[in-house]
Structure 1
Amino acid sequence: MSNHTLIAIVDDDQPYRESMRKLIMLLGYTVEAFPSAADFLASRGLPETVCLVTDVNMPGMTGVELHRHLVDAGYAIPTILITAYPDKVARDQALKDGVVCYLSKPVDDDCLARCLRSALQPGTPIDDSL
């Protein structure tokens, strides 16, 4: 992957955010991590972001709300939602709204890698069981 492929992580849980940042860096991507949707939206990295990995349940703006806000603002950033509280209805709605993947914590490294590839190369099939 190109070093100019910026992946943004938004998660209010600092240890999880840091471990996710390290994992995605090990996969060969350039990563910036943010503790909240507001911090991400205010960042200079927003226009360069080619994929967003965000927690579903966060104070302030949730990951789902962040995705909708970005779409409404004209940012077509492929989004991967991650949650510790999986919900089939929420998952189905998120996928219908255009989210690339909806993953449960703890995230399987291989599943995340497949989701990132799919987000960055539209048309790449993803296992529907994710």
Structure 2
Amino acid sequence: MSEARRVSVVDDDESVREALPDLLRVLGFETRAFCSAAEFLQSNWMPRTECLVLDIAMPGMSGPDLQVELKRRGLRIPIVFITAHKNESERLLLIQGGASACLFKPFSDVALLEALEGVFS
């Protein structure tokens, strides 16, 4: 049996941090959740992360700010952005900036799985 892929969830919304990792585990991923970009960056899980499910709008360092910081550090972790703000132009900018996908909340299990399959295929 192959090793589970490691996915980190970074979202300031507690309900997302509780629900999304449970869903990801059911889908076969190993996962950890973080309440902020800073918490993720300071974790020992960060260098082992193979994909990041990342909220765009968070207090402190935003999702796009974290994307820039990871690039600055030379880390190329694929990112699936999630957001409650349905802004198609922002979504396009994120994809052009290297994001693997950008999902609008609420998104379906199928949409998330398709985005992750795109990362790991």
TM-score normalised by length of structure 1: 0.89
* SS of residue matched to 1:95: helix
Could you tell me which runs of 5 or more consecutive residues in structure 2 were left unpaired when the two chains were aligned. Answer: none
Distance 2:78 2:11 in 1: 16
Aligned residues: 120
Report deviation, 1:72: 1.6
Q: Is 1:41–2:34 an aligned residue pair?
A: no
- Report % sequence identity: 37
Alignment-mate amino acid for residue 8 of structure 2? A
Aligned to 1:19: 19
Report deviation, 1:98: 0.6
Cα deviation, 1:51-90, whole Å, max 9, x if unaligned, reads 0001111000111111111112111000000000121111
Could you tell me which runs of 5 or more consecutive residues in structure 1 were left unpaired when the two chains were aligned. Answer: 122-130
Compute the RMSD of aligned alpha carbons.
0.9
Report deviation, 1:9: 0.3
Aligned to 2:79: 79
TM-score normalised by length of structure 2: 0.95
Distance 2:64 2:38 in 1: 13
Distance 2:120 2:66 in 1: 19
